[in-house]
Structure 1
Amino acid sequence: MQPFVYHGLPSRVVFGQGSLSRLTEELEHLGCRRALVLATPQQQQQARDVLEQLGERGIGLYTEAAMHTPVEVTERAMRVVEELSVDCTVAIGGGSTIGLGKAIALRTGLPQVAIPTTYAGSEMTPILGETRDGIKTTQRTLDVLPETVIYDVDLTLSLPAVMSGTSGINAIAHAVEALYARDGNPVIALMAEEGIRALAKSLPRIASDPANAEARSDALYGAWLCGTCLGSVGMSLHHKLCHTLGGSFDLPHAETHTIVLPHALAYNAPAVPEAMARIARALGCTDAAAGLYDLGRSVGAPSGLGEIGFQAADVDRATEIATQNPYWNPRDVEAKGIHRLLSDAQAGQRPQVGDGGEQ
């Protein structure tokens, strides 16, 4: 076996049906008495329910969380934090809300409780991506890792079927890139393959029966594993492309990951045969890139970036942004190949492994 380094992250996970009932107990465990509850405008009612549950420990709401964690949104939240003398945040929602909690933690050092209602995985990572002036930048620091994560399966039962599918494939992307990460290790590889397997098995069941609690539990378990992978090792081409498309073209996060992933994997495939084999095994297919594309179709996800607002005319600029700063990838990042990759993803073509990621 090759030498490796494994670093476990210091977070507490509470998993199960009805586990939200333990929120006050978890705040007591952290020694917190003045919690600010965070959410997006769309999840304002859930945030109000949480605030009511907290009683005297809940002192306010901030429900302006937005995709890609815009700095201006965080700055408005910081004024509320200061005015209310907040001593912790409770973020309920997906990556947008949890990202806001992380941005506040970076600036204040306040402890966080994350209550994910999607499969995005941000809650398990020491990674924060923020957008300023149309450019999304990412940093990794334990200062933004939530202290406690409460996974309540019941909170995912109302997640719309198509959104569940794209959120779940977004989670799978973390595990896929973990399998060929430069700092990968056998412990994370086990988690990655199991996370892909759990989500690939459960997402089509959720698509046909969104109220299936067993499938929801399996999907949330898989998302936890995939999020742990994202938090433990570095990512590469796929995540770089999605950050570019999200931060500079304002594309929706989960859908972008879902569409780009098969193409990014096809591009990298010649350099990572072992990872390709493990991904295919977890998906139950022979071609990993095609299997991921087919999984997207099975859950009703969009097939091309053109369906979510990315135009063919945007490919040149996206290629330039994605290739202007060097970053590690198992295969050289070449502008011609990335242009073809993005063109194929824009058009929704089925990926095929080939020279330069071409079909």
Structure 2
Amino acid sequence: MSVSFSYDALPGRVVFGAGAARHALPDQMDRLGARNILLLATEHERPMVEELAAPLGERVAGFFTGVRPHVPVDVAAAAVAAAKDIRADCVLAIGGGSTTGTAKAIALDLPLPIVVVPTTYAGSEMTPVWGLTDGEKKTTGRNPAVLPRVVVYDPELTLSLPPSLTATSGVNALAHCVEALWFPHIGPIPRLTAEEGVLALGRALPAVVRDGADVAARSDALYGAHLAGMAFAATGSGLHHKICHVLGGAFDLPHAEVHTAVLPHVVAFNEPAAVEASARIAAALGARTAAEGIAGLIDRIGASTSLAALGMQAPEVEHAVDLLMAKRYDENPRAVDETALRLILDGAYHGRRPGQG
């Protein structure tokens, strides 16, 4: 067999296991030589985060809790200022994708290593992708400087995720795998990673939504999210993620929930032009087609699929189409035009299953 491929194997250390966040952090900080740490978290998660960081003692020199979804530029500036004020030599982010994104915003400005402890299935901790929102515009980019140096995965930290957030955060991770699989230049290693991610998330999400205290299923879901981030990092952002970034940035809609509403319709649109990738997705989910597999999984975990239910207004659909027409979709497996965007957004707005009128 003749094989030829190339991809960037991104550097970084991963520590994975139940209880890892409670015993691994001091050793990981020692490896980095960190002595002046800025700790990032939401105010809501602060008590849990302070408990996890307690073994670090006085090495935690500052605490920033101004995290907001989609990382507004003013929040990023405040986080950078906080790091400068304490002369931080490391950033420790404990939380979901918004917390990780804020840490990346600091690293984009300051040459500081990032350590991330995820508490959701966002997957951004495994990527060099950053995003900032200014007004209704969300700008994203890739820069190796924002890639976390260490990621500590602890499924016990996801036990308190409510079923609704478990479901949508999991579909967010699933979207990373799906877009990676139809990326035009995907190599065999990212393909295997994405396919295994779909398989892990497909079996884990119904189990964790049914019983949030199932540590084995939580571990499986977090493993799937880890793989999803790796696959996305090796490929890139496509039609689905571009739609979600526009909707989140322009209308301040919640990130994971937007992914859940949009993904079935993008999959249904692309499936005829991405036959091999769609067959892999369908097989991993035990379905006849990729679109049926995605929609069926979302039904089983009880996630909302309506942009209207998230607060989007009907006239905003046309505004979103206008914003999306300014973007390029060269790497999408199927040509994207105004009619296609309107079809996808209309279905996601109303929360219909793909193919329903």
> Given the two structures, how large is their TM-score scaled by the length of structure 2?
0.97
Matches within 5 A, 1:156-235: 156-235=158-237
User: CA offsets, 1:199-228, max 9 Å, x none?
Assistant: 110111111110001100100111100010
Give the partner amino acid of 1:251.
L
Find the partner of 1:330 among 330, 333, 337. Answer: 333
Q: 1:325 Cα deviation (Å)?
A: 2.3
Give the SS at the match of 1:248. helix
Matches within 5 A, 1:266-345: 266-328=268-330, 329-345=332-348
Find the partner of 1:96 among 95, 98, 114. Answer: 98
State the aligned residue count: 354
Matches within 5 A, 1:238-277: 238-277=240-279
Give the SS at the match of 1:240. helix
Give the partner amino acid of 1:348.
G
Equivalent residue number for residue 82 of structure 1: 84
Q: Is the 1:242–1:253 contact (alpha carbons within 8 Å) kept by the matching residues of 2?
A: yes
User: CA offsets, 1:154-194, max 9 Å, x none?
Assistant: 11111111111110110000000100112311111111111
Give the partner amino acid of 1:220.
L
Residues of 1 paired with 2:204 and 2:289: CA distance? 20
Does the alignment pair 1:41 with 2:43? Answer: yes
Give the SS at the match of 2:45. helix
Find the partner of 1:131 among 124, 130, 133. Answer: 133
Equivalent residue number for residue 9 of structure 1: 10
Greater alpha carbon shift after TM alignment, 106-115 vs 1-10: 1-10
Give the SS at the match of 2:125. helix
Residues of 2 paired with 1:3 and 1:338: CA distance? 35
Q: Is the 1:48–1:61 contact (alpha carbons within 8 Å) kept by the matching residues of 2?
A: no
Give the partner amino acid of 1:345.
A
Equivalent residue number for residue 52 of structure 1: 54
Q: Is the 1:184–1:233 contact (alpha carbons within 8 Å) kept by the matching residues of 2?
A: yes
Q: Root-mean-square deviation (CA), in Å?
A: 1.2
User: CA offsets, 1:25-49, max 9 Å, x none?
Assistant: 0000011111111011221212222
Give the partner amino acid of 2:8.
H
CA shift in 2, pair 1:148/1:349, >3 Å:
same
Equivalent residue number for residue 27 of structure 1: 29
User: CA offsets, 1:82-129, max 9 Å, x none?
Assistant: 111111000000100000000001100100100000001000000001
Give the partner amino acid of 1:227.
G
Greater alpha carbon shift after TM alignment, 183-192 vs 142-151: 183-192
Residues of 1 paired with 2:209 and 2:53: CA distance? 31
Q: Is the 1:37–1:50 contact (alpha carbons within 8 Å) kept by the matching residues of 2?
A: no
Equivalent residue number for residue 111 of structure 1: 113
Give the SS at the match of 1:129. strand
Q: Is the 2:105–2:130 contact (alpha carbons within 8 Å) kept by the matching residues of 1?
A: yes
Greater alpha carbon shift after TM alignment, 260-269 vs 41-50: 41-50
Gap regions ≥5 residues in structure 2: none
Q: Is the 1:178–1:189 contact (alpha carbons within 8 Å) kept by the matching residues of 2?
A: yes
Give the SS at the match of 1:42. coil
Gap regions ≥5 residues in structure 1: 353-357
User: CA offsets, 1:270-328, max 9 Å, x none?
Assistant: 11000110000111111211221121121121121111111222111101111212232
Q: Is the 1:182–1:234 contact (alpha carbons within 8 Å) kept by the matching residues of 2?
A: no
Give the SS at the match of 2:122. coil
Q: Is the 1:34–1:86 contact (alpha carbons within 8 Å) kept by the matching residues of 2?
A: yes
User: CA offsets, 1:36-63, max 9 Å, x none?
Assistant: 1101122121222233221021112101
Equivalent residue number for residue 18 of structure 1: 19
Q: Is the 1:71–1:131 contact (alpha carbons within 8 Å) kept by the matching residues of 2?
A: yes
Residues of 2 paired with 1:29 and 1:177: CA distance? 34
